[in-house]
Each structure stands twice: as structure tokens, then as C-alpha cells.
Chains A and B, each alone.
Chain A
Amino acid sequence: MMSSIGNYMSGIWTIASKDIVDSIKNKVTLSIMVIVLFATMIYRMVPGLEAPQLLVYDEGQSIWVSEMATDSELELNPMPSWQDVETFLSNRDIVAIGIRLPADFDEQVDKNSTIELEGYIAHWVSESAASEMQMLFERQLSDLMGKPVRINTTGNLVYTEKDSRGFAQITASGLVFLLMMIGIGIVPQLMNEERRTRTMDALLVFPISAGQIVLGKALAGFFYCLVGAGIVLALNGGLITHWSIALLATLSGALFTVSLGLMLGSIADSRQVMSSSWMLLLFLMMPVTMESMLKDLLPASLNRLVGFLPTTALTNLYRVSFAQSVRLADFALELAILSACTILVLVIAAGIVKRSDR
């Protein structure tokens, strides 16, 4: 029994390892991986394009706020409440420091030789970017006020929430896009190439089953999903607060997208795969990437439906992994949706493979 399971697994691994190595030599699969990784990581440059902002919530009527507003160098963004400062920090993809000016700020400026301020930053901002921004604003404010200004940011982090947009949303949807592209791009490609070159005929006379061949292809796709997502997660390590949930999201997401790829690869030839992949990608990714816009445009009932899409569930699962305090209830529904969709797609794919086997 153990030996037959071992043989079965060995057959799957032989197919998978061949495909893993061969995909690097294959121009099509290599291009998909490079383009997807590039597209997923390019957003990391976005925060750097916009100048860092100083978010100021003034509890009193400080004269210094209007002074700051006239300074052409300073990227001031006055906020009507501290709640707005926190919302900005957790919902935008702009690097910023939020400071609260107490009601007696002007008196403190007159009284003290050095001005101490508490600065808050989004938790995903890297240490180097945070310290660079801190030094910039300290210098600009010191020049403006004629006194040394110190901004303390140690431990003052504002975390993203499950429904945060901005950097959290971009990163989460980028990861979903990557998993989708690898899953539905590479797996059907691996299956179609075997059919096109008729090496599938050869595989079918080796002492392995069609199921092992398909699972081997799936394993290769799964491997590349993990590698791609692993790179993106590692580069965004600062954003992730719950690695176990991020890992769970990656594993379940990879399983879902690879199942989709298997289904596509089993039913369609190369040209059909291309068109069906794009349609699937559009249908499943559009609501995720355009969430902020669609949420305001679509009626509430449609928005609720969008929430049941597996890609939306996966995006939310990633966003949960970025949030500070998380309970199981925060992601149980997402996990259930994703698991149900994966099982459904896998059952369909297995049915197709079984039917086509001889």
C-alpha cells in the first residue's frame, strides 16, 4: 500500500520536476513569469513617485499651520480630524507622517528651545523611507520655525485594516493577479504543449495514469505560484503582520488558480485557452483591481455579490494578513468561499480528465 502510494507520488513528482525545469527553458512560460513578476512589483515604485506628505491635525488654531501652508517646499496636507489622519495613513499608497498639534502648540513653540512632536506613519513604510521622511520634515520645519524640531515616530504605527484600500489593496490585488496569471497562464500552457508536440501520447504509454500527469502539471504550476508570491511577499515583508494568514492565503490562492488552470488546460486547445484565460481573468480580476471605483458605482446588492467572488475573497484574506488585530471571524467567510470554489473547480477538472482518459 505504502509502496504503491510512493510510486504514485514519484510519478507525479517526475512530471512536476521535468516541468519545473523545462518551464525556465520555455520562452512562453518564462515570459509569463517575468511579465507577471514585473507587473506585480512595479507598484512598489509608486509610493516613491509622490513626494512624502506631512499630515497635520491642528487641535487649536495654530498660526504655524498657515505658515506651513505658505512654505512652497513643504508638502502639507491639513486634516480636519485625527481620524482622517489615521484613515489617510491606512488607506493610501503615499508615504506620509501624521502629526497632531496640541491646542497649546503656539505657546509650546514660544516656551521651548526645541520642539518635540509625535509623528505617525503607516506600518508598511520601510525603516529607511520612514527615517528619510522624518529627517526631511524635521529640517523643513526647523527652517520654518527657526528652532530645532524633533519628530518622534518610534512605535507610532498606523496599521491597515481588512477593508483598507491604498497600498494594502494594491499589494493584495497584485498578489491575486500574480497567482491568477501563473495558475491560468502556465498550467494550461504546460498541458497544451504536451498535446501540440504529441509528447502527451508518449506520456500515456508510460506506466503512469492521466491523473498523475495532470497532478504533475498542477504541482509545477503550484511551485511557480509559491515562488512568485514568495518573492512579492518577501519584498513587502513590512506590510505583513500575520505571516501565517499570508501563507494560508498564498496556499489556498495557488490551489484555486492552479485548479482553474487545470480545468482550462483540460477543456481547451491553445487558442481557446488564450481567449478563455483572458475572459476569466477579466471577470475575476476586474472587481478586485477596480474595487474602490466599483464600490461607489455598483448597487449594494451587486457589491455583496462581488464579495463572493473567489478573487475578492483572496484579496480580503491577504488584507487580513496585513491588519493588526485579527480574529478568525475576520477571514472565515473568505476562506470558506475560496475553499468551496477550489473544490468545485477541482471536481469539474477531475471529471473532465477522467472522461478524456481513453
Chain B
Amino acid sequence: MYAIEVQDLVRDYNGLRAVKGISFTVNAGEIFGFLGPNGAGKTTTIKMLTGQLRPTSGMARVAGCDVVEERQQLKRHIGVVFDSQNIYERMSARENLRFAARLYGVQKQRVEEVLMQVGLSQRAGDKVKGFSNGMKQRVLIARGLLANPDVLFLDEPTRGLDPGVSRDIRAIISTLAQQGMTVFLTTHYMEEADQLSDRIAIIDQGQIIATGTPEEMKKAYGDGQGATLEDVFINLTGRHLGRGENE
């Protein structure tokens, strides 16, 4: 069974087709890189797969749940780390996670476990307001992991972070995948996608234009030996990366 199964997924916004019938599958336990230039439809796709947006047509199943028909069950099987640092800044890291834990119906003990997992135990009682971006990102990842999800969606998890912090976050993601969690990752950093992803899909103008492992992609769409994933991306989309920008 696939962790994510998407078939002919379409989403229209005010008469404009943002996602034009995409299809792909993600195997359980793999890190799936979902790449594309700004406005390609990445965030819209994530919103549909996480139950935030109703698809105009098509079918998607995540962790065995239909994203339309079984939306409430779906939410218990997924974790989402957003591209914005949307945490309650007047609360401490622990309070933020306890609040989320109550909504998920998980034990308080789990909060301490995820705090330890992301390396925040020492600062858990501090107000998030005083945290660096890297620490806030750790809180977001901890929140995404609270319900021990089958599939974790990470939308630009290292955007705007220091190289050191980014490395730590990548290490956390790798560990999660090793533990069997399926990770759906969007990123502007091609090196990151190359290093972390088992497979990649590139979306442009609402359509998936290529899928495969990083190596397959480089072989098929790169400029010979030594091609990077960034070369592949530019060759396929005809565009450079809009780093650090929101979709």
C-alpha cells in the first residue's frame, strides 16, 4: 500500500486551474521531494493532501484515508510543518505542544518525548517569542511529530535558517525516515532535496513534469556527468530558483 496515492488531482481558484490533474505515489517510509518554482502548485497540493483544501476533482489517499471523505481520520495520521512559523508566541514551547497534544488526544508524556527528539528539552519552558528561527522550527517539527504520524508533510523546513541549524533539521528528517516515517518534503534547496530524498517529483504550472530518484533525474535531464539537481530543475522548468520566497 502506498503512503500517498494521488490520481488526476485538480484544484481551481476563481476560474484558474492551479493544479492540473497531477498523479503520483509515495511509498511508505520514503522521503519524497516535491519541487517546483514559485506558483507551481506545491502549497496547493500540500493543502489538498492535508485536508485543508477540497480538490476540485480527482482522488487522493494519504495514510489510507481519502482526503475528502475521511478528512477527520486523515488528520490523526499526518503531521504538518508549515512554511510559516505559525506557533503561539506568547506561550512556551511546552505550552504550545501541550495545547496541540490535547487536540490530538495524546498523553502529556509524548510532549516531553518530542521535545527531546528535536533537542528542545532545556528551553521547553521559555516563551517562543524569544526563540531564534531555528528553535521555532524545532517547535514546529515537534508539533508535527506529536501524534506519531504515518506521513509528515514538511513545507520548506529549512528556509531562512543558518547552515548549522539546517543541518540539524536535515538530520532530524533523516532519522524520522530511518524510523519508517513517510516524509513529503518541499524545498527550494536542491542540494537538500538531493541529499534527503529517495524520490523526487518536479511540478511546474500545476503539472508534474518529471518523477524519479535524484540519480535517475540527473541522468535523464542533467547536462552529462557531474550534473546537479539544480541543473535538472533549470533544464526542466526553464527557471532559476526563487530562493527564500513563498509560493
Contacts and interface: CB of A to CB of B under 8 A. Distances in A.
Whether both chains belong to one complex is answered with yes
Interface of A: 7, 10-11, 14, 18, 22, 25-26, 197-199, 201-209, 358
Interface of B: 50-54, 72, 75-76, 78, 80, 82, 84, 86-91, 99-100, 102-105, 143
A7 B105 contact: yes
Given A202-B86, A205-B50, A205-B80, A18 B143 contact: no
A358 B52 contact: yes
Contact of B103 (A22, A198, A207): A207
B52 A201 contact: yes
B82 A207 contact: no
A14 B88 contact: no
B51 A205 contact: yes
Nearest to A197: B86
B11 to A, nearest CB: 11
B86 A14 contact: no
A255 B91 CA distance: 29
A203 to B, nearest CB: 8
Given A198-B82, A199-B86, A22 B91 contact: yes
Contacts of B86: 197-199, 201-202
Contact of A206 (B82, B89, B90, B100): B100
Given A7-B105, A198-B82, A22 B52 contact: no
State the majority secondary structure of interface residues on B: loop
A207 B88 contact: no
Contact of A208 (B53, B103, B143): B103
Nearest to B91: A22
A14 B52 contact: no
B52 A204 contact: yes
A9 to B, nearest CB: 13
B90 A26 contact: yes
Contacts of A208: 103
Top-6 shortest CB links A-B: A198-B86, A207-B75, A206-B103, A358-B54, A14-B102, A25-B90
B72 A207 contact: yes
Nearest to B50: A205
B154 to A, nearest CB: 13
Contacts of B102: 10, 14
Contacts, number: 58
Contacts of A18: 88, 99
Given A197-B89, A358-B53, 6 more contacts: A14-B102, A22-B90, A198-B84, A201-B52, A205-B50, A206-B103
A14 B75 CA distance: 17
Contacts of A11: 103
Contacts of A22: 88, 90-91
Contacts of B143: 202
Nearest to B74: A207
B54 A205 contact: no
Nearest to A202: B86
Contacts of A206: 75, 100, 103-104
Nearest to A15: B103
Contacts of A207: 72, 75-76, 103-105
A205 B52 contact: yes
Contacts of A14: 99, 102-103
B205 to A, nearest CB: 24
Contact of A209 (B53, B72, B99): B72
23 contacts: A10-B102, A11-B103, A14-B102, A25-B90, A197-B86, A197-B89, A198-B82, A198-B86, A199-B87, A199-B88, A201-B52, A202-B82, A203-B103, A204-B52, A205-B50, A205-B52, A205-B78, A205-B80, A206-B75, A207-B103, A358-B51, A358-B52, A358-B54
Contacts of A197: 86, 88-89
Contacts of A10: 102, 105
Contacts of B82: 198, 201-202
A10 B76 CA distance: 16
B60 to A, nearest CB: 14
B80 to A, nearest CB: 5
A143 to B, nearest CB: 62
Contacts of B103: 11, 14, 203, 206-208
A147 B174 CA distance: 99
Contacts of B76: 207
